[in-house]
Amino acid sequence: MDFAYSPKVQELRERVTAFMDAYVYPAEAVFERQVAEGDRWQPTAIMEELKAKARAEGLWNLFLPESELGAGLSNLEYAPLAEIMGRSLLGPEPFNCSAPDTGNMEVLVRYGSEAHKQRWLEPLLRGEIRSAFAMTEPDVASSDATNMAARAERDGDEWVINGRKWWTSGACDPRCKILIFMGLSNPDGPRHQQHSMILVPADTPGVKIVRPLPVFGYDDAPHGHAEVLFDNVRVPYENVLLGEGRGFEIAQGRLGPGRIHHCMRSIGMAERALELMCKRSVARTAFGRPLARLGGNIDKIADSRMEIDMARLLTLKAAYMMDTAGNKVAKSEIAQIKVVAPNVALRVIDRAIQIHGGAGVSGDFPLAYMYAMQRTLRLADGPDEVHRAAIGKYEIGKYVPRELLRSSRHEA
Amino acid sequence: MDFAYSPKVQELRERVTAFMDAYVYPAEAVFERQVAEGDRWQPTAIMEELKAKARAEGLWNLFLPESELGAGLSNLEYAPLAEIMGRSLLGPEPFNCSAPDTGNMEVLVRYGSEAHKQRWLEPLLRGEIRSAFAMTEPDVASSDATNMAARAERDGDEWVINGRKWWTSGACDPRCKILIFMGLSNPDGPRHQQHSMILVPADTPGVKIVRPLPVFGYDDAPHGHAEVLFDNVRVPYENVLLGEGRGFEIAQGRLGPGRIHHCMRSIGMAERALELMCKRSVARTAFGRPLARLGGNIDKIADSRMEIDMARLLTLKAAYMMDTAGNKVAKSEIAQIKVVAPNVALRVIDRAIQIHGGAGVSGDFPLAYMYAMQRTLRLADGPDEVHRAAIGKYEIGKYVPRELLRSSRHEA
Amino acid sequence: MDFAYSPKVQELRERVTAFMDAYVYPAEAVFERQVAEGDRWQPTAIMEELKAKARAEGLWNLFLPESELGAGLSNLEYAPLAEIMGRSLLGPEPFNCSAPDTGNMEVLVRYGSEAHKQRWLEPLLRGEIRSAFAMTEPDVASSDATNMAARAERDGDEWVINGRKWWTSGACDPRCKILIFMGLSNPDGPRHQQHSMILVPADTPGVKIVRPLPVFGYDDAPHGHAEVLFDNVRVPYENVLLGEGRGFEIAQGRLGPGRIHHCMRSIGMAERALELMCKRSVARTAFGRPLARLGGNIDKIADSRMEIDMARLLTLKAAYMMDTAGNKVAKSEIAQIKVVAPNVALRVIDRAIQIHGGAGVSGDFPLAYMYAMQRTLRLADGPDEVHRAAIGKYEIGKYVPRELLRSSRHEA
Amino acid sequence: MDFAYSPKVQELRERVTAFMDAYVYPAEAVFERQVAEGDRWQPTAIMEELKAKARAEGLWNLFLPESELGAGLSNLEYAPLAEIMGRSLLGPEPFNCSAPDTGNMEVLVRYGSEAHKQRWLEPLLRGEIRSAFAMTEPDVASSDATNMAARAERDGDEWVINGRKWWTSGACDPRCKILIFMGLSNPDGPRHQQHSMILVPADTPGVKIVRPLPVFGYDDAPHGHAEVLFDNVRVPYENVLLGEGRGFEIAQGRLGPGRIHHCMRSIGMAERALELMCKRSVARTAFGRPLARLGGNIDKIADSRMEIDMARLLTLKAAYMMDTAGNKVAKSEIAQIKVVAPNVALRVIDRAIQIHGGAGVSGDFPLAYMYAMQRTLRLADGPDEVHRAAIGKYEIGKYVPRELLRSSRHEA
């Protein structure tokens, strides 16, 4: 469990940091302006420029563990890079490392057929197209993923897909060419073998982007979080990934590395918020003293440092366990970071907002946006409550026979 | 300290509730649509209709204690009505009871000349115009109000005003016709006698609305929170309220009742969030049980009930003390509710968001918007920290001679 | 809901406060010394002196609402007196107002026969004897009171009682002459009609005090918290209170006023802790400034003030509701204060300990003892969790038919 | 930063665990009985037996990094052993690894003369005598160590020592033969060079144990926490350690490893509390279900697991930094764990108490005692507040020149 950076990782950290400093942070305001000025739902020129630059520098597809297609980094090695990228809301995309593409590419690498890879994985790896993941549904409590009710019914050589999904992030972007749909295909199977994942090209007739969903007033354009209606959508039977009823099997594999990424980005954001908080606390004066020396402000900075450092160590531990023992053994740790990282980030960002006064809730600093984004992460991929229940159950399982605990994850 | 509702108050509560049910809640979606469809920064038709209806029903200007112009309600009597109005984000305006107009009208009632009243108070009371309050500045830590640096210099019969203000709420609305500017007029006076409040008509040359400030991603149109540049703005000398250097004196008087209003609206919002949380918790099912019966959800509902009820009682106590002993004696209590109410509301709304899942952060429920709005109230009119310091100092003052505590409020 | 003190209450407040100042606080060290020096488990001379003085001053049996035997005070009227008494760990007993005697006397007043009253109530009211309440059992989860397994079996004209109880507070004191035993008498009845309350004289053969239970190292001598073995204890059949199987009915009635008393004493303790905290914060200097002006200390004082004031208001509201609408209607409020008051007291006391440094955890200040005592109140008469579940369920019950919620209180 | 256990450490972990299981846990009740039955302030036979066994097995003096006298373990290597020992309140002493002896031995190794070592270090290493550390004073705020006012004045070849110390842990034990006194020797020196550390044999005339201080209700006999009066105590001049005025220099060195030990023991205690909590949660049933499946209990278990794991990782990181970069570079990390570990332990233990009901606050489980012990660690060696201020200041120091921050540690 060696958390020191290897020379390779250290070198990449320096290069990614330099890239962020030189290009990404300065691009934040440009990006915002380009989105505001044109059609919000078209890709921005600045992002394409950043991607070209990063690719030219070889800072490209750094995720993708266990694959020749990526940079050959383990989760533990990639984690500190994800943290740096996460410091900017623009961060991961220039490096072709942004969600949900990373997770989708991993799914294609592991579970896609050769045809799937050629058709979708390759342009994704080249950053030419983007992708989306259609799982959550507006009409059921998605905390229990087995509630998913959108249907995929086989009709000869085709799937016929019907249902409504939302929080299909990225689907509003015209570059999004492929959706991974997950839905009920085998309603008579065992509880976790009723759903399949199926590739649905974005331009298939019947795929309707109903609306972008705002997050605390932010539309996150041009990426966006779509409500998508699947209305008699027909795709070839072979578009199913891995096999019928194996959606949950894929989901388990998909979510592990993605959680490391998400959590490290949360930590990166928290670090940036802490940096802003420290700077503001010495830049402004009230009652004759810098804010840092008033009341409990210094304690808030200290608490933030402690919480961030602990969250990072826990995430690195989870990454190490995934690398060495696999997702299954690391199950509790992965659930733990899923709870810890966004909650820590939210607390740190909230303190930073407070010390910035009115500026903190405005658009003049990235804090309010970061807050909104992190708040969704207490819900996305399962709410805190589901993960806490899993952690607690795992813990109790050390002392009682597994059978005594009920089968469902949450209702511990 | 009788918190039971008098028959008059009870009757008003029922009428305001009925009005909310019949007209205001159903208007929420209409309002949102009208803002989205037209020019965001123009008043909506629906709001004018609501105002006409409320005025016709005599539910108008219910605030304004100690004045014949209002409904003759004490702060304690008005408080429960403010709570009901606060349940909707549209709530107070139909009744001509919305901030910052209420505070501004009170200032005019108490400190305005007859000319001021005729010119500005009367159309405000009729709901024909709106107003703004320009105090906070972007370039200084406004937690220490004595930092205010925008200048008002006397030049013969006129004031010449220069400086930059922000969070001048309502100034983006074309109905806003008058600003109360507070700035540095007497820099050589004692610390709390250097600033004056001056009436500045919105159409005075040199008054420039620089931009609306978003709160999280919300622009709060058509009301809006403006950054305002005062560029050699000239107004008659007699526009000063109460007298030169007496700005803080007015501010103290202005803020008391306004805090009761704000806090009761926060409590109203929290109540609505709790109601939504309860309803959602029984409407959705996961792992075979309604959400209400999973994990610690019931505890969150219970905590919310306790926190809301305590915050309400504390606010009523502050209102009672203001009514009976005056703002000065109620100083600690007013500071207490300023800290308690928005923090309670934020906690309750956050729990409600969590139980709503993705819907909670979206625009499908008012929760995310409420959260953003309440978050600003931990900063507006002084951040939590300043009020905590005042409360703590007051407490310690019971045991040590006042002289031993430093003069500044915050640096305890 | 008038929380102002009536002249009668105000006069009593002043007299009780004067008594505390003159006699009780100065007696604290004396009491501690008398307990330490002699046989810990014998009553102290100082307490008997205090009782004589208070009785002589007419400050006696101030509890007992709705009875001619008491001072004729409502719960709302008695509450502020309980707060003052609660400030000292010696506080309530001098006034014959200490638990569990108060609750037991109320039970006898309401549910005792004339013979019971003559035999036990009268000497209790005169402060000649004390009493205990034997309900909690070591071998079952007492959070679910229906778990109670100690048996009371009828054998002709007698009850034969067997079983083990603990936390039978006061039973170690030789003045304790009567125990109210609650146990399983009718195992075949409906869930809440299986248990009876039976009067058991302390000297009945078979009643064995197994040991005193310490609380965080404190034995609370000479009162003590006893583990009691009932070994074939025989008492007359007529010792049953109210009737067979009606134990829960009595328990409901018994607990209401007792909770007001307990909570107000918690608040009194919190007030004293806050007072000590304030005084210490200005008496000690570090890094060149009084503790009050270091870091976030002032915030802790402010938070304590806010939390105490809110807890008091909520408790007064519960008392008011009990007085005017009865225990049943006030059910949620009574549960609320049961959660709120000890938790607030613990937080305030913990902060006071921290500001006292090492002195805070020692015996030189009453803080550590107060902490230990308050900590038990998060468990006694049902743990927080049970009360939170009841509150939450009550809240949800506003929106769904009662039948949809399960019957058990906790498993919401 | 490799936190995996080396084979040597893994082997020691297994042996220490086996020893704890075989001898230490079973001895807990024996120890308690022996203390209760005899003279509380005499050493127990059971402890001497445990020491003999552990020494015979070579599990002796495992602390002492960078010294041939110990087991040759780095801080990072010793840390997991300290955690295991910390699980029992008897834990460290059988292995001759208990505070304050460990810190005192380290001081003697590093700063003692050959004569000091021969006279005091050797019997300490053999476990024949014990020692105490006299620093904290009752009459000043010890959070600011420069407040220390007890005097050591040179009189020819001797020091004359006068003053009052308290929380001199272990000084009540008759085996305690040597005290390290820290006091004001050079009042005219620079702020951190005014105090010296001086060896004072416990039997020197004028050394008076005034009383043992209880912690909550525990006296911690026979170890005890003494108030010690130094009344014209004379010791040879050469008893000064390192040199006049160099007390703080030693203190800095002394505290680093001790904090790792303390924190790992806190984590061990938290682990044991969590284990007890899990076991209880499945052993007891209420409302028809095991406690683990009621309300938010599972969340409390999950939170405990996350908090413990993060605290452990942070402590290991601090240990690693001390080993590789030294105490000075690790300063912020050492302060961080000093805040984190006892607070985490307190939260976990408190949750465990709650789930144990009344048993949790009693002596039937080690929980209440653990709580009391951990509570002192938020004060000992500097209160949380001082460490938070140091952490915060270090953080801000990344962005502003050091000179802009005031010199004092706490008043940030």
The Cα C183–Cα D90 span in angstroms is 39
Is A341 a member of any domain? yes
Neighboring chain D residues of B296 at a CB cutoff of 8 Å: 295-296, 299
Give me the pLDDT at residue C405, please: 60
Note the pLDDT tens digit of each residue in A128-164.
999 999 999 999 998 999 999 999 999 999 999 999 9
Q: 3-class secondary structure for chain D?
A: CECCCCHHHHHHHHHHHHHHHHHHHHHHHHHHHHHHHCCCCCCCHHHHHHHHHHHHCCCCCCCCCCCCCCCCCCHHHHHHHHHHHHCCCCCCHHHCCCCCHHHHHHHHHHHCCHHHHHHHHHHHHCCCCEEEEECCCCCCCCCCHHHCCCEEEEECCEEEEEEEEEEEECCCCCCEEEEEEEEECCCCCCHHHCEEEEEEECCCCCEEEEEECCECCECCCCCCEEEEEEEEEEEEHHHECCCCCCHHHHHHHHHHHHHHHHHHHHHHHHHHHHHHHHHHHHHCEECCEEHHHCCCHHHHHHHHHHHHHHHHHHHHHHHHHHHHHCCCCCHHHHHHHHHHHHHHHHHHHHHHHHHHCHHHHCCCCCHHHHHHHHHHCCCCCCCHHHHHHHHHHHHHCCCCCHHHCCCCCCCC
Dihedral, CA atoms, B330, B332, B334, B340, nearest 10 degrees? -150
Give me the pLDDT at residue D66, please: 67
Neighboring chain D residues of C389 at a CB cutoff of 8 Å: 295
Q: Which residue of chain D comes nearest to C300, CA vs CA?
A: D385
Contact A340, A388 (CB under 8 A): no
What is the least distance, in Å, from the CA of A17 to any CA of chain B?
Answer: 28
What is the least distance, in Å, from the CA of B340 to any CA of chain C?
Answer: 8
**pLDDT at residue C327 is higher than 90:** no
The Cα D174–Cα B354 span in angstroms is 58
What is the least distance, in Å, from the CA of B22 to any CA of chain C?
Answer: 20
Pairwise CB contact (< 8 Å): B213 & A360: no
Rounded percentage of chain C residues whose pLDDT exceeds 90: 90
**pLDDT at residue C180 is higher than 70:** yes
Is A279 a member of any domain? yes
**Lowest-confidence segment of A22-26, A66-70, B364-368, C343-347 by average pLDDT:** A66-70
Nearest CB partner across the interface for A393, out of D298, D339, D405: D298
Burial class (CB in 10 A: 0-12, 13-18, 19+), D150: buried
Give me the pLDDT at residue D254, please: 74
Q: Which residue of chain B comes nearest to C341, CA vs CA?
A: B306
Q: What is the pLDDT along chain B (412 residues), one digit of tens a residue?
A: 899 999 999 999 999 999 999 999 999 999 999 999 989 999 999 999 999 999 999 999 999 876 777 788 999 999 999 999 999 999 899 999 999 999 999 999 999 999 999 999 999 999 999 999 999 999 999 899 999 999 999 999 999 999 999 999 999 999 999 999 999 999 999 999 999 999 999 999 999 999 999 999 999 999 999 999 999 999 999 999 999 999 999 998 777 888 999 999 999 999 999 999 999 999 999 999 999 999 999 999 999 999 999 999 999 999 999 999 998 899 999 999 999 999 999 999 999 999 999 999 999 999 999 999 999 999 999 999 999 999 999 999 999 876 666 544 443 3
Most C CBs within 10 Å, among B6, B77, B272, B310, to test the C interface: B310
The Cα B230–Cα B227 span in angstroms is 10
Is D97 a member of any domain? yes
CATH of residue D201's domain is: 2.40.110.10
In terms of domains, do D253 and D313 share one? yes
Nearest CB partner across the interface for D306, out of A304, A340, A399: A340
End residue of a domain, out of A125, A145, A170: A125
Is C180 a member of any domain? yes
Give me the pLDDT at residue A125, please: 96
In terms of domains, do A252 and A237 share one? no
Dihedral, CA atoms, C344, C346, C348, C352, nearest 10 degrees? 180
Contact B411, A289 (CB under 8 A): yes
Higher-confidence position of A404 and B28: B28
In terms of domains, do D379 and D257 share one? yes
What is the least distance, in Å, from the CA of A389 to any CA of chain C?
Answer: 16
CATH of residue D252's domain is: 1.20.140.10
Q: Provide the domain count of chain B.
A: 3
Nearest CB partner across the interface for C314, out of B278, B309, B406: B309
Return phi, psi of residue C362, to 5°.
Answer: -85, -170
Pairwise CB contact (< 8 Å): A299 & C298: no
Contact A361, B378 (CB under 8 A): no
In terms of domains, do B278 and B384 share one? yes
Is A157 a member of any domain? yes
Neighboring chain C residues of D143 at a CB cutoff of 8 Å: 286, 291, 357
What average pLDDT does this structure show over A79-95? 96
- Cα–chain center distance at C240: 23
In terms of domains, do C75 and C190 share one? no
Note the pLDDT tens digit of each residue in A263-284.
999 999 999 999 999 999 999 9
Is B347 a member of any domain? yes
Higher-confidence position of B331 and A1: B331
The Cα D60–Cα D126 span in angstroms is 9
What's the domain range around A176?
Answer: 130-241
What is the least distance, in Å, from the CA of A130 to any CA of chain D?
Answer: 35
Q: How confident is the model at residue A193 (pLDDT cuts 50, 70, 90)?
A: very high
Contact A353, B338 (CB under 8 A): no
Pairwise CB contact (< 8 Å): D217 & C217: yes
CATH of residue A31's domain is: 1.10.540.10
Return phi, psi of residue D147, to 5°.
Answer: -70, -20
What is the least distance, in Å, from the CA of B363 to any CA of chain A?
Answer: 6
Please, which residues bridge with residue D46 across strands? none
Q: What are the angstrom distances between the C-alpha of D145 and each of B210, D135, D136, D137?
A: 53, 9, 8, 9
Give me the pLDDT at residue D403, please: 62
Angle at the Cα of C280 (from C278 to C285), degrees rounded to 5?
Answer: 120
Pairwise CB contact (< 8 Å): B298 & D299: no
Q: Neighbouring chains of A at 3+ CB pairs within 8 Å?
A: B, C, D
In terms of domains, do C218 and C149 share one? yes
Note the pLDDT tens digit of each residue in A212-257.
999 999 999 999 999 999 999 999 999 999 999 999 999 987 778 8
Return phi, psi of residue C113, to 5°.
Answer: -80, 170
What residues of chain B have any CB closer than 8 angstroms to a CB in chain D?
295-296, 298-299
Note the pLDDT tens digit of each residue in C64-95.
876 777 788 999 999 999 999 999 999 899 99
Give me the pLDDT at residue A410, please: 40
In terms of domains, do A252 and A384 share one? yes
In terms of domains, do B282 and B375 share one? yes
Give me the pLDDT at residue B405, please: 60
Is A411 a member of any domain? no
Q: What is the DSSP string of B184-215?
A: ES-TTS-GGGSEEEEEEETTSTTEEEEEEPPB
Is A388 a member of any domain? yes
Q: What is the pLDDT along chain D (412 residues), one digit of tens a residue?
A: 899 999 999 999 999 999 999 999 999 999 999 999 989 999 999 999 999 999 999 999 999 876 777 788 999 999 999 999 999 999 899 999 999 999 999 999 999 999 999 999 999 999 999 999 999 999 999 899 999 999 999 999 999 999 999 999 999 999 999 999 999 999 999 999 999 999 999 999 999 999 999 999 999 999 999 999 999 999 999 999 999 999 999 998 777 888 999 999 999 999 999 999 999 999 999 999 999 999 999 999 999 999 999 999 999 999 999 999 998 899 999 999 999 999 999 999 999 999 999 999 999 999 999 999 999 999 999 999 999 999 999 999 999 876 666 544 443 3
Nearest CB partner across the interface for B336, out of C297, C298, C306: C306
**pLDDT at residue C275 is higher than 90:** yes
In terms of domains, do A107 and A192 share one? no
Nearest CB partner across the interface for C391, out of B306, B339, B412: B306
Please, which residues bridge with residue A163 across strands? A230
In terms of domains, do C346 and C363 share one? yes
Nearest CB partner across the interface for A396, out of D1, D282, D395: D282
Pairwise CB contact (< 8 Å): A305 & D3: no
What is the least distance, in Å, from the CA of D388 to any CA of chain A?
Answer: 5
End residue of a domain, out of C241, C264, C289: C241
Neighboring chain D residues of C147 at a CB cutoff of 8 Å: 285-286
In terms of domains, do B170 and B313 share one? no
Pairwise CB contact (< 8 Å): C286 & D141: yes
In terms of domains, do D194 and D110 share one? no
Residue type, A374: Q
The Cα A13–Cα A7 span in angstroms is 10
Give me the pLDDT at residue B257, please: 85
End residue of a domain, out of C207, C241, C275: C241
What average pLDDT does this structure show over A114-124? 97
